[in-house]
Amino acid sequence: MKIILIGYMGSGKTVVGKGLSKELDLPFYDLDQEIVRRQGLDIPSIFKEKGEIGFRKIELQVLGELLQSEESYVLSLGGGTPCYGNSMEMIKQTKDAHTIYLKASLETLLGRLWGEREFRPLIAHLDSQELLEDFLRKHLFERQFYYNQSDLVVEVNEKNVEGVVAQAKNLLNEHRAITRF
Ligand code: S3P
């Protein structure tokens, strides 16, 4: 069984993924961390050296390798992963892969991302809250098309990590009863 967490930057994919992997007793992978490990460079350096297109190619390749493995795991994607190339199709065609969209509102994301933007190459240049808000609104709108193709959705806004993990686990159990995975 492969559980794949999808959502915008700042939606909590990594921390929720770690919590869910403990609850389900499955190994945890974070796609960004796998990319960093294999490239020996952090994400901002990969963007700087290879550009966003270079990063997307590496991202797709590492995702493909993880999907091909026979292993069961919880995997947190990067915010853009399902929106480029044929990633979402690859995920949907993977046997026993189940996607969860961690859905955060614009307000939640703004609050979380403003102070962290220097580590995030796509938003590092946005130097006022208004510019960040305009960017996020447009970007979320474009990406929702892909995020909404997930099997399950958990709203994260008012919840702490434990609450999100608990709801994700409950939804997975219900989904399991229906799909018998
Ligand atoms: C990106 C999100 C980042 C990272 C890269 C690009 C995106 O991952 O993959 O900076 O396109 O939204 P997180 O969502 O884990 O921050």
pLDDT digits (tens, 9 = 90+) for 97-112: 999 999 999 999 999 9
* Residue 101, SS3 per DSSP: strand
The reported pTM is: 0.96
Measuring from atom 11 of ligand 1, which residue has the nearest CA?
80
CB-based burial of residue 42 (10 Å sphere; 0-12 exposed, 13-18 middle, 19+ buried)? middle
> DSSP assignment, residue 157?
T
The single-letter code of the amino acid at 43 is I
> DSSP assignment, residue 78?
P
Q: Are 84 and 56 in contact (CB under 8 A)?
A: yes
Which tokens hold the place of 19?
Answer: 């919590």
Q: Are 144 and 80 in contact (CB under 8 A)?
A: no
User: Which of ligand 1's atoms lies nearest the C-alpha of 9?
Assistant: 14
pLDDT digits (tens, 9 = 90+) for 127-180: 999 999 999 999 999 999 999 999 999 999 999 999 999 999 999 999 877 775
Measuring from atom 8 of ligand 1, which residue has the nearest CA?
78
Q: Are 152 and 98 in contact (CB under 8 A)?
A: yes
